Amino acid sequence: MNGRCEYVGDSDLGLGGGDDSDVSGSGLDGNAFHDDDDDDGNVDHDWTSIADTSGPVGSGLLEASTVPSLSSPAHATGPIPSAGGIGGTQQPPTQRSSASTPSDDRVIIHVDLDAFYVQVEWARHPEMRNQPTAVAQWDSLLAVSYEARPFGISRMDTVADAKKKCPGIHTPNVDVVDGKVTLEAYRKASRDILAVMERFGTLEKASVDEAYLDVTKEARSRRHEPLGEVDAALVAGTNVIGFSGGQVQAGWAPLTDADRDLLQGSVIAARMREAVWTEVGYRCSAGISKNKLLAKMASAKHKPNQQTIVPATAVLTFLMPMPLRKVPLLGGKLGREVIAALDAWTGSGGGGGG
């Protein structure tokens, strides 16, 4: 069994969201929370781990080598990559030769439970499963199932609003003990899920419904192994950023050691997600990339119940068209300050948040 490090535990403290509305308030246990940044229908917590560079799960923010200097000729004169993505027409970015030097890039998986609070309530109330559901705390909504979202229901709604939009919606309340809400049902489910995940790599808990796995050693050890029939089927639908076709075995094939490692990382992610579903009954999405930030952003790109790779050669394709406010930690006040500073520096005045 691999090691596990709970970076912040269940403090349920959020440091920033990607939603432009920048909603914040009181969390389930009375602590502060910030708005959901990845559209998974849950309040996001414990954002401090994304910037950690000393923990067991790889590096935190983007390495300096990932993004070219603003003054470099390539940045000044080269074309801006298009967003590309699934089903796009963008041609693959130039890739390094397969004979390039061995990669030192790590392989990090970010795992995000899809509408986690809803899934916990479904486990407790099977009759609600796969039906429009919103978990309530008093009159506020804490999580909204994907089945409820086509009705226009969001966490900005009250319970009464949700029932007006979808009269048949289920709105289970969080547990209340002695007049106080309790997170124990969600923490218990989280512990059960993490116990499965930690078998697949070095685990770092990010929040009650998110975790990182460093699977570098295992991925490198299998770098040149062909995928077996079962593994090939598991990863066949894995999304790949920046390539025409946009999926493993449908427009993308690894040509470098770094990409081969990510492919093997996607196999581990798929096996882990399947184990979480079959053993404890929860669906999750995953992002696979060279560091925690990119993996986190990738897991939010295609949801629910999907996984996404960001190859090293597609990092700029992924980041260039993205509004700054969608970058983890830059969704709230800090993000607005950074955007204002960039606008002042460039003289654009265009609200660089996109």
Catalytic residues: 210
Using CA atoms, how far apart are residues 138 and 283, in angstroms rounded to an integer? 26
CB of 226 closer than 8 Å to CB of 29 = no
Helix (H, G, I), strand (E, B) or coil at 296: helix
Distance between CA atoms of residues 268 and 90, nearest Å? 28
Distance CA 63, CA 65 (A): 5
Contact 135, 121 (CB under 8 A): yes
How far, in Å, CA of 234 to CA of 266, rounded?
A: 9
**d(Cα 10, Cα 6) in Å, to the nearest integer?**
9
**How is 253-272 classified by DSSP, letter by letter?**
---SHHHHHHHHHHHHHHHH
Position 147, amino acid: E
User: Largest Cα–Cα distance of the chain, in whole Å?
Assistant: 65
65 residue type, one letter: S
Q: In what order do the strands lie in the sheet with 210-214?
A: 4-6, 202-207, 210-214, 108-113, 284-289, 307-309, 239-240, 247-248, 251-252
Tell me 109's DSSP state.
E
What distance in Å separates the CA atoms of residue 132 and residue 118, rounded to the nearest whole number?
A: 10
